Structure 1
Amino acid sequence: MFVRTESFKEFLKFYPIVSGLVLINLLLWLFISVFQFNFALDLLRAGVGNNFLVSQGEYWRLVTPIFLHGGFSHALFNSFSLVLFGPALEQMLGKMKFITVYLIAGIAGNIGTYIVAPNAFYQHLGASGAIFGIFGVYVFMVLFRKHLIGSANSQMITIIFVLGLFMTFARPNINVLAHVFGLIGGFALAPPLLKNARPFSVWQNRVKHENRSRSGASFDPNRWNKRKFSGKGYGKYIIWGFIIFLVALALVNNFL
């Protein structure tokens, strides 16, 4: 479920919410950090998380930091995490439930930061709380809904989860509270959202969209088994590459 065998066109078609969120992350980074458009810089100033300004009634700052990032590596890392772990959950939950858990987990991380952070002028930004909310749903599956995820994927989630927690507390300049409360938010939302969920299957996407395009014409469900996908066989390298990237990033930040 974490191996991406879809073409780019299929990815956009099958996972519109994940695609849209990644597009927002990268466009805002471009507008703010590269092109430095005035409206984008104003958006950054008005949208960054700031505990003092939230206490003054600027409650939108509990939402807007989810879409803002502090540099290319920050935006790329969160977007890559979303591409890797978001698609399966978007299919399993559906579009509305997926965007609900993403936003509420991100907001929960920002609320936790506002309530618990001792510094009234603490500023923060990034989608990490929302990303950890996705992990929270997967952790719930590993613990209580194993039939939805399978043993191999459960092991992978456990490894990624442990590494994510290690990086949360080991790396400097990390909003630990956003990660922790985002994780709790996703975990808490998982029971009702997963009530009617089914295990991820890329074939479900292809069958659904094929049936739509054929407008009710006959469809052979085995036709996909006859095709070879160029991404097949490389999924494990994507996963382990991501793990190595996490560890390397943690080590680099600890020594710089």
Structure 2
Amino acid sequence: MFVRTESFKEFLRFYPIVSGLVAINLLLWLCIYVFQFSFALDMLRAGVGNNYLVAQGEYWRLITPIFLHGGFAHALFNSFSLVLFGPALEQMLGRLKFISVYLLAGIAGNIGTYIVAPNAFYQHLGASGAIFGIFGIYVFMVLFRKHLIGSANSQIIMVIFILGLFMTFTRPNINVVAHVFGLIGGFAMAPPFLRKAKPFSIGVNRGRHKNKSQSGAGFNPNRWNRRSVRRKGYGKNILWGIIIFLVLLALANNI
């Protein structure tokens, strides 16, 4: 569920929303911080969350901070989080529901920041509220929709959830309010959005594409199962290696 076994081409084809969001994160980082294009710098100035300017009527600043980041480490951390935890949810919810949850959770985090932030000139940016919204849905699954997520994946989610909360409340330069409100937003949206959801299966994606690309040809799901079995032994090591890398990266850069 959280171990990525797809090829790069398969990933782009199976999870277009996650792929698009990651591309936006990294392209904006390149345009703003590497190439420093004038239009990109203008986008940063016009899009960063700013409570004072929101109060003046610039309500788009409740949305635009979701796509902006404070540097490479910040963009990379959120993009890796999307790659790890977004694909399964995109398949389970469907593309429209997934992007809706992502944006609404991010907006919830930014609205919470506007209401609760300590001063009127507080500025913020980043997709962390939206990422915590994804975690909010997974936490709801662990508690109330256990048939959608196995015990091993439940343990992974709870470990990451606890680590995320620990980092939220112990590291500097983190928008704690956005994390908390994004989490609450995702948890609150889970009941209606998960109503028709089915457990994640990589075979569903491959079977769907196989049937579309080769009309009339037979499809043997065991073909993919054999590949999954071969990779199962080291899949968990890859996942936990990535998780440890992300945690160390976050701690080192005060994300």
The 2-side partners of 1:83 and 1:253 are apart by 20
Superposition deviation, residue 186 in structure 1: 0.3
Q: Name the counterpart of 1:168.
A: 168
Superposition deviation, residue 241 in structure 1: 1.9
Q: Name the counterpart of 1:242.
A: 242
Contact 1:163–1:246, Cα closer than 8 Å, also in 2? no
Aligned residues between the structures: 254
**Alignment TM-score, normalising by the size of structure 2:** 0.95
Q: Which amino acid aligns with 1:102?
A: Y
Residues 1:10 and 2:19 are matched in the alignment: no
Contact 1:109–1:177, Cα closer than 8 Å, also in 2? yes
The 2-side partners of 1:238 and 1:31 are apart by 31
Equivalences for residues 51-200 of structure 1 within 5 A:
51-200=51-200
Contact 2:77–2:246, Cα closer than 8 Å, also in 1? no
Contact 2:73–2:249, Cα closer than 8 Å, also in 1? no
Q: Which runs of 5+ in 1 are unaligned?
A: none
Q: Which runs of 5+ in 2 are unaligned?
A: none
Distance of aligned partners of 1:225 and 1:252 in 2 relative to their CA distance in 1, 3 Å threshold: closer
Q: Name the counterpart of 1:215.
A: 215
The 1-side partners of 2:127 and 2:14 are apart by 22
Distance of aligned partners of 1:233 and 1:8 in 2 relative to their CA distance in 1, 3 Å threshold: farther
The 2-side partners of 1:238 and 1:106 are apart by 29
Superposition deviation, residue 34 in structure 1: 0.2
Contact 2:77–2:250, Cα closer than 8 Å, also in 1? no
Superposition deviation, residue 245 in structure 1: 2.8
Superposition deviation, residue 127 in structure 1: 0.3
Distance of aligned partners of 1:50 and 1:251 in 2 relative to their CA distance in 1, 3 Å threshold: closer
> SS state of the match for residue 234, structure 1?
helix
Q: Which amino acid aligns with 2:168?
A: T
Contact 1:66–1:130, Cα closer than 8 Å, also in 2? yes
> SS state of the match for residue 220, structure 1?
coil
Contact 1:170–1:250, Cα closer than 8 Å, also in 2? no
Deviates further, 91-100 or 214-223? 214-223
Distance of aligned partners of 1:111 and 1:131 in 2 relative to their CA distance in 1, 3 Å threshold: same
The 2-side partners of 1:186 and 1:10 are apart by 27
> SS state of the match for residue 89, structure 1?
helix
> SS state of the match for residue 239, structure 2?
helix
The 1-side partners of 2:245 and 2:128 are apart by 16
The 2-side partners of 1:243 and 1:217 are apart by 39
Contact 2:129–2:179, Cα closer than 8 Å, also in 1? yes
Q: Could you say what the CA RMSD is over the residues aligned between the two structures, in angstroms?
A: 1.6
The 2-side partners of 1:127 and 1:178 are apart by 9
Superposition deviation, residue 222 in structure 1: 2.8
The 1-side partners of 2:251 and 2:80 are apart by 19
Q: Which amino acid aligns with 1:118?
A: P
**Alignment TM-score, normalising by the size of structure 1:** 0.95
Superposition deviation, residue 108 in structure 1: 0.2
TM-superposition CA deviations, 1:233-254 (whole Å, max 9, x none):
3321232223323543465457
Contact 1:172–1:253, Cα closer than 8 Å, also in 2? no
Q: Which amino acid aligns with 1:90?
A: E
Q: Which amino acid aligns with 2:183?
A: L
> SS state of the match for residue 121, structure 1?
coil
